[in-house]
Amino acid sequence: MAEEQRDPGGVRGVREGAQDVREPRGRSVRPEEAHAWEALVATARRTVSDGLVVGTSGNVSVRVEDTVLVTPSGVPYDRLAPDDVTGVDLDGRQVLGTLVPTSELPMHLAVYRATDAGAVVHTHAVHATAVSTLVPELPAIHYMAAALGGAVRVAPYATYGTDELAENMLHALADRSACLLQNHGTLTYGTTLDQAYDRTAQLEWMCRLWLTASSVPGLSPALLSEAQMAEAGERLRGYGQRG
Ligand SMILES: [Zn+2]
């Protein structure tokens, strides 16, 4: 990816008079979209700094009304600037920006069409991806799975960026806010970017926990029953709703 010319003036949807060879696509950026973009870039950078993503191998999106802002394809997150806002409508038509949206757009859009998600995070986090190659469902190693809706399923493998992968993912995501993608990575959603991010971090941590516990020779980890998981889920639903 060639270095882009940056406009130091910040977000401007209309580039009249700007010495920028790129033509704006679609309409101008609204203030709430500029704000959401800033949060999206911060979240994308966090996936790298926290070790959940190497290079540009993940992607993040956030919904602002009927527009979905997404990380562009192949641009390192530390190079993303305020005027790189990239957005599509729910049918995938680009309405903001000139950079090409992530190749995993079909997965992101499938989540927004099927759920009340406000944000989606996809990574290739190493422990989660390792687990996706071993089992069809993350064993109930910890009650925090209840915070994701229950035992985390693994979506069967399909080529990245395809509608088939998006479909497999949606099935695995039924009644859950997280799933694994076989031989690929993670997908989580939440009402906010922070919630979607935290769910990814929790999922990666649980996968690491299971791999660690499972790797002791001659022993296998105790797992929680469905009843234990359901009871934890009840408690978690009350958590954080005080006041
Ligand atoms: Zn991926």
Q: How far is the CA of 107 from the centre of ligand 1 (A)?
A: 10
Angle at 229 between CA 192 and CA 235, to 5 degrees: 60
Tell me the sheet residues that pair with 228. none
Lowest model confidence (mean pLDDT) among 20-34, 63-77, 92-106, 141-155: 20-34
Q: Tens digit of pLDDT for each residue in 121-137?
A: 999 999 999 999 999 99
**Domain positions in the chain:** 24-236
What confidence tier does 8 reach under pLDDT thresholds 50, 70, 90? very low
Give the predicted TM-score (pTM) of the model: 0.88
Active-site annotation holder among 23, 38, 104, 204 = 104
206 closest CA partner among 183, 184, 188 = 188
Q: What is the per-residue pLDDT for 13? A: 40
Q: Is 104 a catalytic residue?
A: yes
At 25 the pLDDT is: 60
Compute, in angstroms, the gap from residue 16 CA to the centroid of ligand 1: 36
DSSP 157-193: P--TTSHHHHHHHHHHTTT-SEEEETTTEEEEEESSH
Whether the pLDDT of residue 5 is over 70: the answer is no
Lowest-pLDDT choice from 52-66, 197-211, 229-243: 229-243
Count the Cβ atoms, other than its own, within 10 Å of residue 147.
Answer: 20
**Cα–Cα distance measured from residue 18 to residue 192, given in angstroms and rounded to the nearest whole number:** 34
pLDDT of residue 55: 86
Quickly count: other Cβ atoms within 10 Å of residue 207's Cβ.
24
What dotted CATH number matches 24-236?
3.40.225.10
Name which residue leads in pLDDT, 69 or 14: 69
| Residue 231 Cα to ligand 1 middle (Å) | 33
